[in-house]
Amino acid sequence: MEWVAALLFLTVIVVLLAGFPVAFSLGGIALLFAWFGVLGGVFNEALLSGLPNRIFGIMTNETLVAVPLFVFMGITLERARIADELLETMSALFGSLRGGLGISVTLVGMLLAASTGIVGATVVTMGLLSLPTMLKRGYSPEVAAGTICASGTLGQIIPPSIILVMLGDVMTTAYQQAQLDMGIFSPKTVSVGDLFAGALVPGLLLVLLYVLYILGLAFFRPATMPAHHREQDERVSFIRVLRALVPPLLLILAVLGSILAGFATPTEAAGVGAMGALLMAAVRQQLDLERLQEIMRGTLRISSMVFLILIGASIFSLVFRGYGGDDGVRAVLEALPGGVVGAVVVVMLVMFLLGFVLDFIEITFVVVPIVGPVLLAMGLDPVWLGIMIAINLQTSFLTPPFGFALFYLRGVAPPSITTAQIYRGAMPFVAIQLLALLLLAAFPALVTWLPDRIYGG
């Protein structure tokens, strides 16, 4: 009955494209297919008895508690106007160099990514703060838009990232399933900390590639980013730099350092980050009762969406497997020419295309549990595969015409910036992302070296 599983998957995609709510579409359509299957005698209704245990497992999953805590931390830092001061300081520091403002935007995007991990909030914030300044200083609209969109998506890959928390939980289950399928009944595990460590070098590599592209553009096409003559009142003091950089860097160090050093689990570190963000907001006098209520409501909305999608995806996965969908996917991937390389290329291409129409949360909870066990059973490193998926999804955020980051910027960009200019500006950064994927494919040690050094392989 693998064809029914394929029909289930296609039906879900069509319904999502029609605009129906994701969580209810996933769970509702899966239950509908299961009901018809039970009536037709082709679906084992006993499988549905496992649903309560699956939902209870989600509710009691300690790793996933980190999601609302990281979301709370990100929203708090956004409301505390950390980005404003960072961007103003970095612009004053590098703004007189040709391309300096673009480099400042990239570095601030990196720091915000490590502080908040929320792509939409970062792109919108950077668009509101830096786009007018870049245009005022004579930057090409394409360069300004592309730099903002690309730096905003760094929250997908630079830890602590929300997607890496969710991907870590999914990859753990997929890795254990793959080992059980291979007859290994004392399976190894992969943790969120492994993915955080594995993402650090690729994330910094992406930042370096972005900066090198901006410097190259400033050298070969200087008209796209004129040099800025810094006035006396724009000069920045060392104290001002410390005041802007030290608090977020300390917060990043406390959260990420405690995880990598083994002092805290991701959930515990997320709690430290949430409290640290509250203290930073309070010290900057950006925290009152009304703003705290906004932060809590925002956290509740995003966290509820994530967990409802996870529950719907869990129901979908159960029904999909009940119809033999996992066996069908395994047969297709194993029959592809090129062996494991061909399978990885096809899966990455499918995820890239799905990223045009589905959110990264949906792909993480729906697609990865289907293809993950099959690929891992072929001998792939789970940390390497997880980071490849994360960067792939980040690339789909940037790719015209459906990249979500492009839509976020379009929503806050002035009317003088056309959609075509935003698309043209993003394309070089898409090429950089694809180059990074090729580098990670050619040199897996870029991902696996740091986790092996920290956790001993």
Q: Could you tell me the two tokens for 100?
A: 């300096």
Name the pLDDT band for 84 (thresholds 50, 70, 90): confident
Cβ burial, residue 384 (10 Å; 0-12/13-18/19+): buried
Quote the CA–CA distance of 288 and 268 in Å, as a whole number. 25
Which of 55-59, 174-178, 205-209 has the largest mean confidence?
205-209
Instruction: Report pLDDT digits (tens) over 244-266.
Output: 888 888 888 888 888 888 888 88
Residues 6+ apart with CB under 8 A from 452: none
Mean pLDDT calculated for residue range 198-209: 93
Quote the CA–CA distance of 355 and 353 in Å, as a whole number. 5
Q: What letter represents residue 82's amino acid?
A: I
CA angle 342, 207, 194 (to 5 degrees): 60
- Give residue 59's pLDDT: 83
Quote the CA–CA distance of 195 and 25 in Å, as a whole number. 30
Rounded mean pLDDT of the chain?
Answer: 84
Structural domain span for residue 370: 2-455
Q: Could you tell me the two tokens for 432?
A: 């950089």
How many folded domains does the chain comprise?
1
The answer to whether 295 and 79 are in contact (CB under 8 A) is yes
Q: Higher model confidence: residue 111 or residue 150?
A: 150
Instruction: Report pLDDT digits (tens) over 264-292.
Output: 888 888 898 889 889 888 888 878 888 89
Name the pLDDT band for 431 (thresholds 50, 70, 90): very high
Name the pLDDT band for 163 (thresholds 50, 70, 90): confident
- Give residue 436's pLDDT: 94
Name the pLDDT band for 118 (thresholds 50, 70, 90): low
Quote the CA–CA distance of 4 and 323 in Å, as a whole number. 7
- For the chain, the maximum distance between any two Cα atoms, rounded to a whole number of angstroms, is 80
> Over the Cα atoms of the chain, what is R_g?
23
Among 199, 197, 191, 198, smallest CA distance to 170 is for: 191
Quote the CA–CA distance of 287 and 265 in Å, as a whole number. 28
Mean pLDDT calculated for residue range 350-358: 79
Q: What letter represents residue 136's amino acid?
A: K
Q: How far apart are the first and last CA of the chain?
A: 40
Instruction: Report pLDDT digits (tens) over 368-398.
Output: 888 888 888 888 899 999 999 999 988 888 8
Mean pLDDT calculated for residue range 23-40: 88
- Give residue 230's pLDDT: 61
- Give residue 95's pLDDT: 63
Name the pLDDT band for 100 (thresholds 50, 70, 90): confident
- Give residue 233's pLDDT: 58
- Give residue 386's pLDDT: 92
pTM of the prediction?
A: 0.83
Mean pLDDT calculated for residue range 14-34: 84
Would you say residue 356 has pLDDT above 80? no
The answer to whether 141 and 421 are in contact (CB under 8 A) is yes
Quote the CA–CA distance of 278 and 272 in Å, as a whole number. 10
State the alpha helices, DSSP H only, in 61-191. 66-79, 82-94, 100-115, 119-136, 141-152, 162-181
Q: Higher model confidence: residue 438 or residue 232?
A: 438
| Three-class secondary structure of residue 59 per DSSP | helix
The conformation of residue 255, written as its DSSP 8-state character, comes to I
Angle between the N-to-C axes of helices 119-136 and 82-94, in degrees from 0 to 180, rounded to the nearest 10: 40
Would you say residue 44 has pLDDT above 90? no
Instruction: Report pLDDT digits (tens) over 302-335.
Output: 888 888 888 888 888 888 888 888 788 888 888 8
Q: Is the dihedral angle over the CA atoms 238, 240, 246, 249 positive or is it negative?
A: negative
